[in-house]
Structure 1
Amino acid sequence: MKNRFSAIFSLSVLMLLLSDVCVWGAVPANYYQSIDGTSGATMKARLKELVKNHRLISSYSDLPSYFEKTDTITKQLSSGDYGLCWWDMYSDKPVLVSIRFGANMNREHCFPKSWWGGSESAPAYIDLFHMYPAEANANQAKLNWPLGEVEAATFDNGSVKVGRAIPEHRTSADKVFEPSDEYKGDFARTYMYMVTCYGDYSWNSNYMWMLSSENSQYLSLSKYAVDMLLEWNKLDPVSQKELDRNEVVYGIQGNRNPFIDHPEFADYIWGEKAGTPYEDTSVEINKQLFSPVKDQPVEFDDIALGDTETTVLKVRGQDLTGNINLRIYMGDKDDFRFRKYTSASAYTLVDYVSLAPSQVNADNGYNLVVEFTPTELGDRTARVLVSGDGIQGSFGISLKGYAGEMPTLTAPVALEATEITADTYQAQWEPVHGEEVDYYVITRTRYKGAQVVTEEITAEAPGVTIEDFAGSDYETYTVKSCRLKQYSPESNVVTVAHSGAIDGIMGDDYRDAYFVPEEGGVSVVCTRGEITVGIYDVSGRLIVTQGVHNGSFIPLSSGSYIATSDVAEPVKIMVK
C-alpha cells in the first residue's frame, strides 16, 4: 500500500547510502534460532529475551538526530522543489528536516507512555522501535487514545483520524486513533513489539483498553486488539520502509523488531497457529558476532563542556571461541573511554578491553560502558576497532558526541491553565526570551483525598495537554527548561481545580492556600511567603493558629476540622 512513495523513497535511500549512515544487511544468521519449535506464550517469552536487552539511545532530546537516520523521505514541497523531509506517518504535510522539533513536529511515543506511567527511566521511553516524528497537531489529537477504526471523527487531517470507534473497537475509551491504511501494518507491528519487549511492565489500570493481563506468564492483548492488529498485519504487509528502518535501528540499538522480520510470528503467538510449533528451516549453527555491527554509530547525548555522559555498547555473539577486542582510536580519542570494572562498583577508564567468549556468548551478551568527557567545544568523534580470535578480520564503529557551552537558564513563568474539562487541561508557560532550550519538564502534582502523587512530563514547546484530570481533586504544576542536560530553576506554582485555575500565578501581591489531609495531620500548599492558618474542630473551637509557608505540616489527631487562612475560603478536612 506504499507504492506511491517508492520512487521518492529510492532517492532517500540513495542519500542515506551516500552519507555516513550505514544500511545494514539482512537478518543475521541464527538470530531467531531460539524461536524454532515454539508458539504462543513460549514464543513470545523467547522473543522477549531476544530483544529486551538492547542498547539505549543517548536521550529523548537527541531523538531528532536519530530520526534523521530512520525517518526521512524526499518530498515535493509547495514551491514545487524537492527537499529532505521527515517521514511522518501522522500527516502528509511536508516538513523539512531542517525545521526544529516543537511547534511543528513532536517526538511521538507511538505506544503511549502514560500506559506504563510515563517513567523516563524506563527503556521503553526512548526505544526507537516506537518513537516516530509526528506532526504536532495530529500528535496532540492522538493523546493516549488506543488504536481503532473511527466511525465519527473529531479530528481528520486526511492521513489520520481521532474520534468515536466503530462498534467492534469500542472500549471505555471515549475515542480511538486510526492511522491511514498504508501505515496500519506499521502500527500493528510496533504494538506487537512493545507488548513483547515490555510485557513485564506494571501498566496503568486506567489505560488497559488494548491490553489484558489474564495470562500471568506474559502480557497479552485484549480480544478486540488481537483481532484488529492481526487484520492490519495482513492487510498492510511489511514495506521497504519498515525493512530499512529495522536495519538502521538494529545498527543503533542492537535488537530487531521480530514482527517486521517475521510477520507470521503474530499468528503463532495470537492467531490461528498459536498451538502449532514454528519451524525455521533456515537455522544453521555457526559462530557469529551479533553486536556491535560494522559502522554502527554510538552516539552520546549533547552535553555541556565539563560534564560526562555514559552509554552502553552491547557486545553479544554466539558460539564464539576467542576473545573480542575493542580499542578506541583516531580523532578525539582522548574524549572517550571504556569502563573496566574491577568490582561491582569500582572501575578504571581504559581505551582497550578484551572480552572473553563466556562474556560475549552469554544470553544477554556483555554491556560495555563507554564514557564521553569532552575536552573541547563542538562535535567530538572517534572510532572503535573491533577484532579478535572470535571473528574473521576486523571492523570499525563510530563514537560521536557534542559539547556546548554550559548554559545559564532562567525559570520559565507558568501561566494559568486553559481549556479545562472534566478530564484534561492545557498547562501553559511563557518561555524565557533568547534562551535556547532542548525541552521542558512539567512537574505535575495530583491531590486526591490524602494521596499526593507527583509525575514529570516532557514537552517540546510551551503548552501541553494534561490527561486523566478526573482522577484528581485538584492539581498543581511547575515548569523548568532543559538545555544540554542542565535544568533551570522551577517556575512558580499553578493550581488547577475542576472549576478552573485557583489563582495559580504567584504574584508579589497575591497568595492563596489549600490543605492536603495526610495521616496524622494536614500539609499546607501556598504560593509564596508566610500566611496565617486557623484550624477549628467541629464544635467551632479554635485549636491551632500559626504562621505557615508552602509545605508546612500541622499535626492533628484523626477527625474532622475546618481549616481557614487569610488568603483562602474555609474548607472542611478529614484527617485519618
Structure 2
Amino acid sequence: MKKYLLLLLVAQLSFGQAGAPANPYYNGMNWTLTGINLKSALATKITTTHTITLTYAQAELAIETVDLDPSDATNTNLLLLYGFSNNLCPASSSDDKDHRRRDKSLEDAGTADPCLWNKEHTYARASGVPALGTSGPGADVHNLRACDKKRNADRDNDRFFDGSGNSFESGLLWYPGDEWKGDVARMMMYMYLRYGSQCLPTSIAQSGIPTVTNDSNMVQLFLEWNAEDPVSQYEDNRNNYLGNTSNTYAQGNRNPFIDNPYLATVIWGGPAAENRWPTVFLSSQSFISDSAVQIYPNPTNTNEIEIATEESISKLTLINVNGQIVKEIIKPIFNQNTYKINNLPQGFYFLQITAEKGNLTKKIIVN
C-alpha cells in the first residue's frame, strides 16, 4: 500500500510539474475526442487564442528571449537549432565547441561573418502553399528558431528525412539531428493544425514516405520523432512565454504537442509518445466504444450519476478540470450492469473507464 501511494503521489507531482493542461488555456476542451475530431478541436483552440500577431521584427526580438539556453545562468546564450561544430568559428564563452550556443548579441545583420545566428523557418517559407512570407505564418515564433548561420544556409529549403547522429544534408534532404528531431516534429504538427493546407506535413517531409491511416497529410516519420525525442525544458520555456499574453512578445497560443506529445498519438496513432497528462489520457491505444457505456443523468442535479454498461470494468477514475483525481474506484461491483457514484461536488469532470477491452473517457457535469 505504501508503494502504491508513493507511485500515485509521484504521478500527481509529475502531472502538475510537467505538462498538466495549462489552466485556463485548455478549459472547455473535450478530452473524450480522438482522431481527426480532436485534431479539429485543437486547431480551433490554437487559432482562436492566437490573439497577438507579431511583426517580423518583433518575432526576432522574441527569439532572443524564448531561445535562451535554460542551463545558462547569465541569460546571454541562445541554443541553436541543428547545432554542432561547423569548424568555422572559434570556441569561446559565447560560442562553445559544438556550436549549440551563440551569444544573442551575435545576430546576423547581413555581413559575411559566418559566426553569427539568424532565424530558421523550420517549416521552410518556400514550402508553404502559398509561401509563408515574413508576416502571419512567416512570423509565427512557434515555427522560428535561432540557428547557426551556416547550418541554416546548408538546410535551405530541404525536406526532412530520417537519419541518426548530428544534423546533416543528403542531396535536397535534411536530418535535423537526434537532439532536435522531436522539436521539429512538434513544430510541424503545430503548423499543420494552425495553418492547415498551407503547411501540410507531406510538403515538408521527404516525398513518398508513409502517411498515417486516418490522415493522408500526416507522415509517420514525425510521429516517430515525436515519440523518440521527448520534450525538453527549452521547449516548455518557449511555450510558456508565447502563450502568456502579459509577455512583451507573446502570441497568446500554445503548441499543444509540447504540452503533451501524446496528443499526437491520440490523433494519428503510431508509436506511443510521452504522456504528460496521465490523469487525462491513459497510455493505451485500445478504446471501447462510446456507446458501450451510458451515464445518466448527465448533467445531473442530484450530485450522483449511474453508469450502465455490459463491459467488464476494472477501474473508474473521476478527474476534475485541473487534472486532480477526485475518486478512484478499483474493481467496482456492478448491480445488474449499473454502478452509482454519489456525493459529487458541483463541477465539470472527466470519467476514465478502464475495461478489459480498452479504455474510454466521458465528460460529466454536476449542477
When normalised by structure 1's length, the TM-score is: 0.36
- 2:85 aligned with 1:48: no
Deviation at 1:200, TM superposition (A): 3.7
- Work out which of the residue numbers 257, 263, 266 in structure 2 matches 1:265: 263
- Work out which of the residue numbers 101, 110, 133 in structure 1 matches 2:108: 101
* SS at structure 1 position matched to 2:145: strand
Give the Cα–Cα distance (whole angstroms) in 2 for the partners of residues 28 and 189 of structure 1.
Answer: 21
Instruction: Kindly tell me the number of residue pairs found equivalent between the two proteins.
Output: 238
* SS at structure 1 position matched to 2:179: helix
Deviation at 1:268, TM superposition (A): 0.8
Give the Cα–Cα distance (whole angstroms) in 1 for the partners of residues 127 and 317 of structure 2.
Answer: 34
Structure 2 counterpart of 1:63 = 59
The letter for the 2-side match of 1:266 is: A
- 2:230 aligned with 1:199: no
Do 2:167 and 2:175's aligned partners in 1 also have CA atoms closer than 8 Å? yes
Change (3 A) 1:148 1:205: closer
The letter for the 1-side match of 2:235 is: E
- Work out which of the residue numbers 239, 250, 266 in structure 2 matches 1:246: 239
The letter for the 1-side match of 2:57 is: S
The letter for the 2-side match of 1:52 is: T
Structure 2 counterpart of 1:284 = 321
Which ranges in structure 1 are unaligned for 5 or more consecutive residues? 1-24, 77-81, 152-157, 164-173, 286-576
* SS at structure 1 position matched to 2:69: strand
Structure 1 counterpart of 2:309 = none
Which ranges in structure 2 are unaligned for 5 or more consecutive residues? 1-19, 84-97, 245-249, 271-283, 291-315, 323-367
In the TM superposition, what are the counterparts of 1:43-442 in structure 2 within 5 Å?
43-53=38-48, 54-73=50-69, 84-91=76-83, 92-93=98-99, 94-102=101-109, 103=111, 104-116=116-128, 117-120=130-133, 123-150=136-163, 159-163=166-170, 174-201=171-198, 209=206, 220-222=217-219, 226=220, 228-251=221-244, 252-272=250-270, 276=287, 282-284=319-321
Change (3 A) 1:210 1:132: farther
Give the Cα–Cα distance (whole angstroms) in 1 for the partners of residues 75 and 42 of structure 2.
Answer: 39
When normalised by structure 2's length, the TM-score is: 0.55
State the Cα deviation string for residues 195-239 of structure 1 (Å, max 9, x = none): 111114376997674699x99x977213xxx2x222222221111
Change (3 A) 1:123 1:269: same
Do 1:210 and 1:221's aligned partners in 2 also have CA atoms closer than 8 Å? no
Give the Cα–Cα distance (whole angstroms) in 2 for the partners of residues 121 and 29 of structure 1.
Answer: 31
Structure with max Cα Rg? 1
Give the Cα–Cα distance (whole angstroms) in 1 for the partners of residues 222 and 178 of structure 2.
Answer: 12
Deviation at 1:159, TM superposition (A): 4.2
Give the Cα–Cα distance (whole angstroms) in 2 for the partners of residues 202 and 184 of structure 1.
Answer: 18
User: Greater strand share, 1 or 2?
Assistant: 1
Give the Cα–Cα distance (whole angstroms) in 2 for the partners of residues 142 and 125 of structure 1.
Answer: 17
The letter for the 2-side match of 1:144 is: N
Deviation at 1:275, TM superposition (A): 7.8
State the Cα deviation string for residues 302-332 of structure 1 (Å, max 9, x = none): xxxxxxxxxxxxxxxxxxxxxxxxxxxxxxx
Deviation at 1:274, TM superposition (A): 7.3
Give the Cα–Cα distance (whole angstroms) in 2 for the partners of residues 27 and 72 of structure 1.
Answer: 22
* SS at structure 1 position matched to 2:238: helix
* SS at structure 2 position matched to 1:201: helix
Deviation at 1:75, TM superposition (A): 7.7
Do 1:105 and 1:136's aligned partners in 2 also have CA atoms closer than 8 Å? yes
State the Cα deviation string for residues 30-89 of structure 1 (Å, max 9, x = none): 61542311111111000000001303443112333111220112789xxxxx77212112
Aligned-residue CA RMSD (Å): 3.9
Give the Cα–Cα distance (whole angstroms) in 2 for the partners of residues 248 and 61 of structure 1.
Answer: 17
